[in-house]
Amino acid sequence: MWQPHRRYAFGRADEAAHPDSIRATLAEFIATLIFVFAGEGSILALGKIYKDGDTPVAELIAIAIAHAFALFAAISASINISGGHVNPAVTFGALLGGRISVVRAFYYWVAQLLGAIVASLLLRLVTNNMRTVGFNVAPGVGEVHGLILEIVMTFGLVYTVYATAIDPKKGSLGTIAPLAIGFIVGANILVGGPFDGASMNPARAFGPALVGWRWKNHWIYWLGPFIGGGLAGLIYEYMIIPTEAPHAHHTHQPLAPEDY
């Protein structure tokens, strides 16, 4: 089966200062801030209501819904500017698939991490210094199990991103991409939340961990999502996307307009 040629690109030297790259980076920063503020904020708010040790079912559902809604809004607000990644693992999957340049991926990673940090700092401020929770593996769940969970859940997330937002033949399906992505994150939280918190997003884990200074099992929330996201990007890009005509032109998301 013929596979289209992938265009991997480091990025032009003058892309770094181009207004389009700055706008896209700013969009990722703001979108990640919105998502982490609402997601982590829902945990803090519910933690103030439910003081028990275990997470009640109603609380888990509320957290899943908050994350799904917040991610839906964050992606909708940034998808036309930056592609609406809001997640270093999504950016990594797109990078391995040859859909973005290394320069753009680096900009996004910095913006996503800064957005998560600022969101966590704002939460600490508005909640009268409540310590952000972040993620850790639940008692009785091994680190390897948590790692596998993060790999599988992030694979599902990035696969959904590819199918609804990146696939060149997605057609009208692209209009529901933010909703579909929000739904898969909410569903994964219902599944993995009681076991490892269900991060699927290194930035979502890093901001609260840094501000709340909670680093237990933190490596899982980097390695798992990057493995899962990378696998999803490679598999969808090289095995799922329909074959194109030999002359089809495969491009990565540009940092600047076509006439730049």
Q: Where are the domains of the chain?
A: 15-240
Q: What is the pLDDT of residue 7?
A: 63
Split the chain (260 residues) into runs of 10 and give each run's mean pLDDT.
Answer: 53 70 74 68 61 66 91 93 94 94 94 96 93 90 92 91 88 89 89 87 96 94 96 88 50 40
Q: What is the pLDDT of residue 28?
A: 73
Phi/psi for 98 (5° steps) reads 75, 20
| Whether the Cβ atoms of residue 137 and residue 149 lie closer than 8 Å to each other | no
Q: What is the pLDDT of residue 46?
A: 62
| Whether the Cβ atoms of residue 34 and residue 70 lie closer than 8 Å to each other | yes
Q: What is the pLDDT of residue 243?
A: 56
| Whether the Cβ atoms of residue 245 and residue 5 lie closer than 8 Å to each other | no
Q: What is the pLDDT of residue 249?
A: 44
Taking CB atoms within 8 Å and a gap of at least 24, the contacts of 42-51 are: 42/66, 42/67, 43/133, 44/123, 44/127, 44/130, 44/132, 44/133, 47/133, 48/130
Q: What is the pLDDT of residue 248?
A: 42
Could you give the residue ranges of the DSSP H alpha helices within the chain? 19-49, 57-78, 88-96, 102-126, 143-161, 177-196, 202-212, 220-235
Pick the CATH number of 15-240 from 1.10.150.530, 3.40.50.300, 1.10.510.10, 1.20.1080.10: 1.20.1080.10
Q: Give the span between the Cα atoms of 16 and 107, in whole angstroms.
A: 8
Q: Give the span between the Cα atoms of 77 and 40, in whole angstroms.
A: 19
172 class by beta-carbon count within 10 Å (0-12 exposed, 13-18 middle, 19+ buried): exposed
Residues in Cβ contact with 60 at an 8 Å cutoff, skipping those fewer than 6 apart: 189, 190, 193, 194
Best CA proximity match to 98, nearest among 143, 147, 162: 162
